[in-house]
Structures are given as C-alpha cells and as structure tokens.
C-alpha cells in the first residue's frame, strides 16, 4: 500500500510537498474503496431481498492513523469501530474537534479498561460476562455523573458460535441471563448481539445459528434489534442471515500491519 501511495503521488520536482500529496492520495484511495464497499453491501442486500437501509456499515479503523479517520469523516462517515483500548483512547483525544462522532468499541475488553472505554464509547460490542457488564455499568454511571457522557452505553452481547473460551462470547442460558442483567442495569442499554464465526466454519451455517439465537433473544428482549455480523470476508453471508451492521476493516482501509487483533 505504501508503494501504491508513493507511485500515485509521484516524486518529481513539481510534486506537492510530501505530506499534502500523501494525504490527497490516501483520500483518493479511501474514497474509491468506500464507493466499492458500499456497492458491494448494496448488492448483497439486493441479493438477500433486503434494503440497503437495513444494514449499517461500521468502518473499522484499528491500526490506521487518526488522519485516515479524518478523511473518512470528510467522506461523511460518523461512526468508527476500534478494538484496542489504548490506541482508541489516543485517537478519540486527537479527534475531539470532529463533532458528532460515534466511537464503537468492538474488541475484547478487559474489565480494568471498562471505565476508560465508558468515557468515550457510544457502544461496546463484546460484552460476554456479568463482571464486565457490571464494570461497564459502574464506569458509565461515573462518566455520566462527571459530565463526560450524556447517554447510556449501548451494549451488544458477544455470542460464541463454538465452544472455544479463548475467543470470547457466551451462549445458551448464560447469554439470556446476561441479557437480563444488562437490560436491568441503570446506565446500560441492551442493543443486540454480535458474533465472529470460527475461522474454519462455514459462514452461512454460523450466521444461521446466530440468527436463531437472535430470534430467541428478541422474544424476551424485543428492544435488542441490532445484529452485528459480517466482516470483509463474509459480509454477504451475514447479510443473508439478518445482519444489521457489518464491521469492515480490510476491504475499506487496506491490509493491517499485523492481523492478530
Ligand atoms: C478487526 C475486526 C473487524 C474487521 O475485520 P476485517 O476482516 O478487516 O474487515 C471486525 N470485527 C472485529 C471484532 C474486529 O476486531
């Protein structure tokens, strides 16, 4: 990608100052990939007999600089997904001048980081334990009292689609009990579910299971309408199975420097 930018900006004596031309090249690149991605999501919606308005795109900007977020903001995006607490907190501080941004925390969250994230996140996507929910509720209450935020924290419960505890997520009766707890928490708002299919799974089968779990949750929590499923590689399958929010990094931003988070 760095090579592409260098090639696109040229390096002759008439080229604009390096910083400016790099930003312009990156803006051109992100604008084109956003257009292509939006067309891809629209096509997936049409193929699934759904309207594009039913599926929201959450750009995932982890590992990419604040300058990329400013470019996407200029292209009309107002919601950004981040997955690493320290990196995200830094970008939030750097980008305070952008109004009406919604930061959405999509990664694994340690309990001791909950109070930091509760200061700036609109939504946390990865709640999978009663202790994490309790910590987020307390952190959000403190942030509300301090005037650092003005609305409850939206919470998505992370569903496990396999039995691997390493990958996070809950299922079955544990999931329903956690939903009850979040719904009853003063500073949290139960918004829905999120899942990441196991690496080797058939995405259609995994998302079909997720869709069934969501349907059963809606019976007791009709307010939990959000179903966040689908990433760069599998968003079509997710949209076939009721996703209301695709979280896309690579297909929009390009390859991340490292891929393990
Ligand atoms: C990084 C990440 C994504 C985006 O993945 P891509 O395959 O790059 O689109 C989506 N969801 C979560 C939870 C992530 O951590």
Going from the N-terminus, what domains does the chain have, and what CATH number goes with each?
2-11+20-253 (3.20.20.10)
What does the alpha-carbon distance between residue 82 and residue 105 come to, in Å, rounded to a whole number? 5
- Burial (CB < 10 A; 0-12, 13-18, 19+), residue 121, is buried
Phi first, then psi: give them for residue 61, nearest 5 degrees: -110, 10
27 is written with which tokens?
Answer: 């803006």
Question: Ligand 1, from 107, 245, 249, 253: best to mutate by most atoms within 8 Å of Cβ?
Answer: 249
**Average pLDDT score over residue span 77-95:** 97
Find the residues whose C-beta lies inside 6 A of ligand 1: 60, 62, 83, 106-107, 196, 231-233, 247-251
Report the nearest atom of ligand 1 relative to the CA of 256: 8
Q: Whose CA is nearest to atom 1 of ligand 1?
A: 249
Residue 18: band (very low, low, confident or very high) from pLDDT cuts 50, 70, 90:
low
- Residue 28 scores a pLDDT above 70: yes
- Residue 13 scores a pLDDT above 80: no
* Centroid of ligand 1 to alpha carbon of 240 (angstroms): 19
Q: Whose CA is nearest to atom 7 of ligand 1?
A: 232
Report the nearest atom of ligand 1 relative to the CA of 125: 13
Q: Whose CA is nearest to atom 11 of ligand 1?
A: 247
74 is written with which tokens?
Answer: 């200029």
Report the nearest atom of ligand 1 relative to the CA of 252: 9
Q: Specify which residues 159 forms β-bridges with.
A: 170
* Centroid of ligand 1 to alpha carbon of 194 (angstroms): 12
pLDDT digits (tens, 9 = 90+) for 214-258: 999 999 999 999 999 999 999 999 999 999 999 999 999 999 976
Average pLDDT across the chain, whole number: 92
For the beta sheet containing 102-105, the strands, ordered from the edge strand earlier in sequence to the opposite edge, are: 56-59, 245-248, 226-228, 188-194, 153-158, 121-127, 102-105, 79-82
Q: What is the DSSP letter of 17?
A: P
């Amino acid at each position: 990608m760095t090579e592409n930018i260098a090639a696109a900006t040229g390096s002759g004596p008439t080229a604009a100052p390096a910083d400016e031309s790099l930003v312009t090249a990156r803006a051109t690149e992100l604008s084109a990939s956003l257009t292509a991605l939006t067309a891809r999501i629209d096509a997936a919606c049409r193929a699934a007999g759904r309207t594009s308005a039913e599926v929201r795109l959450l750009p995932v900007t982890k590992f990419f600089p604040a300058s990329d977020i400013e470019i996407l903001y200029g292209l009309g995006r107002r919601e950004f997904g981040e997955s690493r607490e320290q990196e995200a907190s830094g970008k939030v501080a750097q980008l305070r001048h952008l109004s009406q941004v919604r930061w959405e925390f999509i990664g694994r969250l340690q309990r001791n980081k909950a109070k930091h994230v509760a200061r700036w996140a609109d939504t946390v996507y990865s709640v999978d334990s009663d202790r994490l929910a309790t910590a987020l509720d307390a952190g959000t209450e403190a942030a509300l009292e301090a005037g650092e935020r003005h609305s409850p924290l939206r919470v998505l419960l992370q569903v496990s689609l396999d039995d691997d505890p390493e990958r996070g997520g809950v299922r079955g009766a544990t999931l329903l009990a956690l939903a009850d707890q979040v719904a009853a928490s003063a500073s949290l708002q139960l918004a829905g579910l999120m899942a990441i299919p196991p690496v080797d799974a058939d995405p259609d089968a995994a998302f079909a299971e997720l869709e069934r779990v969501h349907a059963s949750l809606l019976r007791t929590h009709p307010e939990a309408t959000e179903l966040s499923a689908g990433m760069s590689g599998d968003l079509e399958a997710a949209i076939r199975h009721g996703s209301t929010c695709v979280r896309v990094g690579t297909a929009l931003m390009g390859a991340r420097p490292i891929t393990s988070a």
